[in-house]
Structure 1
């Protein structure tokens, strides 16, 4: 697209500066859109990779594919990127593409209201300031709101208590008695790090996770040099990672029995490292592998086997001033409690209150579960585009591939808007409903609907998170914008 002047350009606000917000801003800049502001509630960019600084924080998608296709990095230290490296990569992108002047930090959005009369969005920040824009792009992610467990007596605890996504680095865990509540993706990474420092660790597990070995290792100097010297090899390496990951999509969506190979591998690893028969009995899940997120780690099972780690499967009854008590009446006195209880992933855009046409709120529109056309647009919310929206999460490949598909689609929508100056585009309700029913039908035969309770499901048991197919099919469906899917609205005034 050629450079447009600001008269015909829509004013655009992007909420969030994680991988979604930054990547979208870069693509907008490349396409000639200059009237773009990014709002960030924190004091620096990075999203989940800024917030999650717990010991051992790393990606479970290979570094070369957990990065933008248009901005390759040749000197990744390991096959799977570490938290500080991913954050550094994002900060590099801000500097290289000169986004700094467009980002406003410490700007948290409280609510967004669409004005039918002027076809404008009004955003109110938590400090009371209001901003206006013709287009709003949300890039708040699905892992930005920590899930705090509702356990009786939590406020009575007199020791240190913090969530893994809000790690207290000022608290020294060395030789302390520690309780960890939760055994999800974050705990898998920080528990082995913590177990080596503490005097004792009581690990409270509600349900076991399937854990596979992580094919990780440092890159050798000559490998990094090769990636830099021969860009085609870097691209081929990335391409091979994509197809290796993508091939697993069949197992998740259609042929579940293929996952039994991974279940066998996980059991083999557990038996190899966990010698305590009681721990071994509780550390292997009783549900279909893949129903919940499959985790990867090389030090989880060895950590479980450590004598100073007590695996507790008895449900928690309450927390008191000195520790944790289970339903059986046993009390675990601890100095600190670490919550590895994940995120409120299905509460999209929370806690921002979004109001669309006719005063309808997003919560009202989504009372039966979050839905969005191609995971991006919602009826009655014109010129609002979501990145990493409903049913665009993956269990088998890199979310950045999905985000780059969404960048392309949003750019197509903006091009369509430029053909209709002053109008707002609103996805037709029948197209949204038709799309949503196809997605939900696709999910019916997936492993995620095999009966377990997981963070993929919302409060109503509906899978509002995962994409039910291949990522290349999603890319194909978002490659072009069909304007027949939308109505273009004149300002009511």
Structure 2
């Protein structure tokens, strides 16, 4: 079968969410138009294309959860619902003029570095492409994680993950079980409670849930955003610095989060009058140790008469129900799995092979995910990982981090062009110093001292997901490409070190 893709491009980008789209737009602005974006789905959007469950919305304010170079004056709410975010990304992609270099419904099967030619060879479902650089923007919340529960394959009703919602299933009048109480679940539960005959919510650990200070923008506000110069940027700046005030509490002094804890517990006490239920919904760890959630509707929904909060561990699933450790079997027609994503063991890492043939997954198996500046990896020349190790946030917008990484990528490409380099690869010592410093900082954060087990921690007990400093520090550290930390090569030479 003849390939529908170009045989060779300068830059191959994997993923068409915020990260991939930002990369494409900025490369195009720099005159680096010889790129291809391959996307496994049928459209741009990534997470916001895939997560279409009832109630899906962002928990970062709209003004900040958008590209700095593409403000949207037409957000309807201060916290955007999923359809608006997806429409925003579609519009930005269309207006940027880069969609002619996007290949949708194209799955990356493998990518391998060739030291002889200083190129990546990427095999996809639509053909093979060689490129000088490989930019991975697949994201950390893209591959659903299914629970390992005995008998789950034999369930006779409908079962689906929150990120793969089956809209053909009519939930009205059914008995539904939601497994999980994370960020997606607390948005789903209130919506299901409205239509299901009965809802069981299976909770392993109770989260902190803050009030959601959401509101609809007035027509006058939207007009002002569109026509008053600098107003929307001012809103964005104020929200950004408001969010940064959480950083000291997360990273150095958890006691600073005490007001947030009081607010979350007041939210619980206001909505739940039953003392037994309230006790089971009260977290037993420091606030911030796990992701802080926001909702005005979750607690009232759980407290409703047609909802049961189940805190006993699930032991198995039968064809007609769920059995818990106390021996109780609860009949159920539909199971919604809201158990998160592969965040510390990215599936795409199994398909990327660097110098010598080792996969990125194999390289990380012994130590956990790690990269230089969260973006480049020793042994994998010209590979740039966006939303990579230790770039995640628990308080602010990942779009800010993505734009910071793309700025670093752009400067790397400019530097390579100017110097005539065919490949750049972070030195092992530079990468080790970066990650050792990160993990030293991580020891004193609430994520490591707060007394919880979270999806931030990998199999080694290391937090390889979050950034343990202010986001403006990350932007400063990635503002310029730093050749002294890299081994470089030209097409005719072996790798060499740039003097520090």
Give the CA deviation at 1:351: 5.8
Give the CA deviation at 1:10: 7.0
Q: Give the distance between the partners of 1:308 and 1:351, measured in 2 at CA.
A: 43
Give the CA deviation at 1:258: 1.2
Name whichever of 358-367 and 466-475 sits farther off. 358-367
Q: Give the distance between the partners of 2:346 and 2:235, measured in 1 at CA.
A: 34
Partner of 2:159, secondary structure, is strand
Q: Give the distance between the partners of 2:37 and 2:381, measured in 1 at CA.
A: 19
Q: Give the distance between the partners of 1:349 and 1:85, measured in 2 at CA.
A: 28
Give the CA deviation at 1:155: 1.1
Partner of 2:291, secondary structure, is coil
Partner of 1:11, secondary structure, is strand
TM-score (normalizing by structure 1): 0.96
Which residue in 2 is equivalent to 1:474?
474
Which residue in 1 is equivalent to 2:302?
304
Give the CA deviation at 1:352: 4.5
Q: Which runs of 4+ in 1 moved over 3 A?
A: 490-493
Give the CA deviation at 1:348: 2.9
Q: Give the distance between the partners of 2:144 and 2:491, measured in 1 at CA.
A: 39
Q: Give the distance between the partners of 2:320 and 2:417, measured in 1 at CA.
A: 62
Which residue in 2 is equivalent to 1:84?
83
Cα 1:422–1:481 change in 2 (3 A) is closer
Which residue in 2 is equivalent to 1:295?
293
Which residue in 2 is equivalent to 1:463?
463
Which residue in 2 is equivalent to 1:6?
none
Q: Give the distance between the partners of 1:232 and 1:59, measured in 2 at CA.
A: 24
1:275-306 C-alpha deviation (Å, 9 max, x unpaired): 22221111011011100000001101111110
Structure 1 gap ranges (5+)? 1-8
Residues paired across the two proteins, number: 484
Q: Give the distance between the partners of 1:404 and 1:334, measured in 2 at CA.
A: 44
Q: Give the distance between the partners of 1:358 and 1:159, measured in 2 at CA.
A: 47
Aligned partner of 2:223 among 222, 225, 236: 225
Is 1:453 matched up with 2:447?
Answer: no
Matched-pair contact (CA < 8 Å) for 1:110–1:351: no
Matched-pair contact (CA < 8 Å) for 2:420–2:490: no
Give the CA deviation at 1:482: 1.3
Matched-pair contact (CA < 8 Å) for 1:118–1:492: no
Which residue in 2 is equivalent to 1:268?
266
Which residue in 2 is equivalent to 1:140?
138
Matched-pair contact (CA < 8 Å) for 1:138–1:385: yes
Q: Give the distance between the partners of 1:303 and 1:364, measured in 2 at CA.
A: 44
1:131-182 C-alpha deviation (Å, 9 max, x unpaired): 1101110100000000100000011111010100000101010010111110
Partner of 1:435, secondary structure, is helix
Which residue in 2 is equivalent to 1:250?
248
Cα 1:169–1:10 change in 2 (3 A) is closer
Give the CA deviation at 1:360: 2.4
Q: Give the distance between the partners of 1:10 and 1:377, measured in 2 at CA.
A: 20
Matched-pair contact (CA < 8 Å) for 2:147–2:339: yes
Q: Give the distance between the partners of 1:148 and 1:492, measured in 2 at CA.
A: 47
Name whichever of 447-456 and 48-57 sits farther off. 447-456
Partner of 1:303, secondary structure, is helix
Matched-pair contact (CA < 8 Å) for 1:178–1:202: yes
Which residue in 1 is equivalent to 2:355?
357
Which residue in 2 is equivalent to 1:102?
101
Partner of 2:429, secondary structure, is helix
Partner of 1:350, secondary structure, is helix
Give the CA deviation at 1:259: 1.1
Give the CA deviation at 1:349: 5.1
Q: Give the distance between the partners of 1:26 and 1:313, measured in 2 at CA.
A: 47
Q: Give the distance between the partners of 1:35 and 1:352, measured in 2 at CA.
A: 27
Partner of 1:385, secondary structure, is strand
TM-score (normalizing by structure 2): 0.95
Matched-pair contact (CA < 8 Å) for 1:14–1:21: yes
Give the CA deviation at 1:50: 0.4
Which residue in 1 is equivalent to 2:331?
333
Name whichever of 362-371 and 283-292 sits farther off. 362-371
Structure 2 gap ranges (5+)? 1-7, 494-500
Matched-pair contact (CA < 8 Å) for 1:119–1:422: no
Is 1:24 matched up with 2:23?
Answer: yes
Alignment of structure 1 residues 79-228 onto 2, 5 Å: 79-126=78-125, 129-228=127-226
Matched-pair contact (CA < 8 Å) for 2:9–2:36: no
Cα-Cα RMSD: 1.3
Which residue in 2 is equivalent to 1:387?
386
